[in-house]
Amino acid sequence: MHENFEPYYAVIFTSVRTNEDAELYAATAQRMMELAKQQEGFLGEESARNEIGITISYWKDLKSIKNWKQNAEHLLAQQKGRDSFYKYYKTRICKVEREYSFEK
């Protein structure tokens, strides 16, 4: 079932928004998603928000994640996140060791 599975990485970003800057937040989130997609090693992204927001991005390796974290435009967005967008966030760097899926 899991032959030839090559581990990759997931960055789990969970957050609680402030009530500030709703439009700028939406535009910035959209822009960061577009920018992430252009990065070397980016594999995909999944996102949902109710009381908390969960965004998971998938990456080929730790180096890709480090490069993305240090991207200049992303650094500005991260700063804006701490200054205004978020009450709370937590970032977890994870190695995906196994996976299985179901489709109807």
CA dist., res. 53 & res. 88, Å (int): 10
Does position 56 interact with a second copy (CB under 8 A)? The reply is: yes
Contact 67, 40 (CB under 8 A): yes
Residue 49, phi then psi, degrees to nearest 5: -145, 125
Cα gap 55→91, rounded to integer Å: 10
Stretch that binds a second copy, among 25-33, 34-42, 91-99 (CB under 8 A): 91-99
Minimum separation from the CB atom of position 72 to a second copy (A): 20
Residue 88 binds a second copy (CB under 8 A): yes
Asked if 46 touches a second copy (CB under 8 A), the answer is yes
Q: Does 91 interact with a second copy (rule: CB under 8 A)?
A: yes
Q: Are 86 and 16 in contact (CB under 8 A)?
A: yes
Contact set with a second copy (CB under 8 A): 10, 12, 14, 18, 46-54, 56, 81-82, 86-104
